[in-house]
Structure 1
Amino acid sequence: MAVFLLKRLTLQIIKTENNYIRRCFSKHMVQKTAPALSSSLAASAPRLASLIPAKCFSTVEDTQDDRKKKTNDRTLTNTGRKIHARIIRVFDEKGNDLGNMHRADVIRLMDERDLRLVQRNSNAEPPEYQLMTGMQIHQERLRLREQEKAKPKAGPTVRKELTFSSNIGQHDLETKSKQIQQWIEKKYQVQITIKKAKYADNPENKTEEIFHQILQTMPGVATFLSRPQAVKGGTALTCILRHLSKKEEKAHADSQAQKTDPLNKENGNGRESDVVHP
């Protein structure tokens, strides 16, 4: 009887150990396979392609852009034998109009006279070209370059400010007038403020005369942008000077020439200038 009980107890212990081992093994297998399964699912999931903005391809737009660049380009370029239009209008090296010509005839004329072909106006119908020598092209490029340099650079107008008292000495006033003239010649605007001296008995028109005195040192160069006016409760006067425009400079020069021409003066042909005089 004791042997039977011992045998049954042994079998029960073996069965329990096997169940415990199986549970541990299955738990270990689940932990190992779970990350692999999740990574495989993530890898198999489709990804949305990122949208990248791209410029639409269009030969029409590109052609129009190239045409605008050629139209706006002021540099002279020898087109050589690449004449796109079949019929073009041709000018010779002296500027004479040769009329409309076939491009084959133009190429033959270039070879005969050893000339270059330069496009003058691509927007004309038919396009306009000119025959030029190499020296003419070089000189014209230099002229256009100098013309480009002479153009005024666009930018904000610079304004200088100057303040002094109405009882300023003559020497100091001349010094300040020279400084103002230097600014005006650089196309600056100059705002001048003159404070009335506290213990000086200077009437307002006396202070205003100082502005005109300064302006008279720059004849044909400067004029009023804003005339003298009272500020700070009447304790000061201010005005703004500017450089003359091209039209005003010409009008001033014409008026001075007419004043010095005795014939025009006798005939009464003088006319007033558009410049605002002090």
Structure 2
Amino acid sequence: MAALSLKRLTLQAIKSEKSCIRCFGKHIVQKTAPAQSTPIASAPRFSFLVHAKAFSTTEDTQNEGKSKKKNGTAFSNTGRKISQRIIHVFDEKGNDLGNMHRADVIKLMEKQELRLVQRNASAEPAEYQLMTGVQIHQERLRLRDMGKANPKTGPTLTKELTFSSNIGQNDLDTKTKHIQQWIKKQHQVRITIKKGKNVDESENKGEDIFHQILQTMPGIATFSSRPQAVHGGKALMCVLRPLSEKEEKAYKETQELQERDTLNKEHGNDKESNTLHQQF
């Protein structure tokens, strides 16, 4: 009897243990199953792959654009990589050789030990010239010197300013200072002056204001567009621009001549007064 009771207790313990394990395992499955069924784990991977591909495509496109721009503007040896089948060729002395097949051009290059440089890609067919290495080097130096002599500048910005002809002197002085700052930064300034409602106002008051503003910047600015009526005659508009280097040089020379004339006149008057003083 004792052995039988012990056996029953053992069987019940085993069943209880299996039941607990089964319940625990079911609990784990219930906890983990929703996480596996949701697409959250795969979504970032898909998004990441798409993003990486797009980024790579953009970068390749930019690099390709830069490469094309560089190849299109740089003065360099084309070599055997001639994209066109028929091209217009000039020899190293500038003589016109006419249209030639690229295979014949390559043979001519190898035979005469010359290099091929693109002259005009927009022509039909494209124009190329055979040159020596020394000629290419000299042309690069010439282009570099031209670039230093004529540096590229960005597009000219145009500032706009509108006010009434009834403007007070203090406000006009403030606006004039703004115009001077813009001119010194090499900007153009479009000024529009609306006619005031004052009946006694002079017809030339707008033009007088323009000239008053311009007189505050001698040797710095001038009219790009002289005063003219706009908005059906209800306003006047002009455009001021900075002087070019040539205009600044001419202005300085004119000022120097005027100063010399003034000094000469003063010295001449002094000599005449001294002579008169000695006579008396």
TM-score (norm 2): 0.48
More helix by share: 2
TM-score (norm 1): 0.49
